[in-house]
Amino acid sequence: MNQPLPGQPAQVPVLALGDVLLVSLQGELHDGMAEQLQQDITHRISTDRVTGVVIDISGVDMVDSFLGRVLAEIASTAGLLAARTVLAGMRPAVAITLVELGLTLPGLVTALDVDRAMELLNQRGS
């Protein structure tokens, strides 16, 4: 179980850019935060008529199996609510570690950065 350390933010901010949600993960994601984030995103998709979710992980040093599962679950849930999820800004070292761990994040669409993720969502939506 990952528990938040004292002084760490308990919630991940979710910004709306048009009809796309932008989630910027920083540092480690703890169990409670992950669950809260998934609920926030699904709630926002349904109330704000969101068609896409961009998860920026450029501030994340390490994606382990827990975070990989959380990301896959967010993408699946968003998909059920008709929103597409793009994972943006993965660091090269993170990609290498993921492949070494055998975690290739099936079902997740990736983009080099947030700009390209937005382009991808706009292209597909048109």
Interacting residues with its own copies (CB under 8 A)? 38-39, 42-43, 45-46, 49, 73, 76-77, 79-82, 90-96, 98-100, 104-105, 110-112, 116
Query: What span, in angstroms and rounded, lies between the C-alpha atoms of 123 and 125?
Result: 6
Which sign, positive or negative, has the C-alpha torsion 43, 37, 107, 1? negative
Beta bridge partners of 109: 86
CA atoms within 13 A on the CB side of 51: 10
> Which is closer to its own copies, CB of 22 or CB of 117?
117
How many helices (H) and strands (E) are present in the chain, helices listed first? 4, 5
Smallest distance, its own copies to C-beta of residue 80, A? 4
> Which is closer to its own copies, CB of 22 or CB of 105?
105
Contact present, 70 and 63 (Cβ < 8 Å): no
> Which is closer to its own copies, CB of 4 or CB of 68?
68
Smallest distance, its own copies to C-beta of residue 6, A? 29
Smallest distance, its own copies to C-beta of residue 8, A? 24
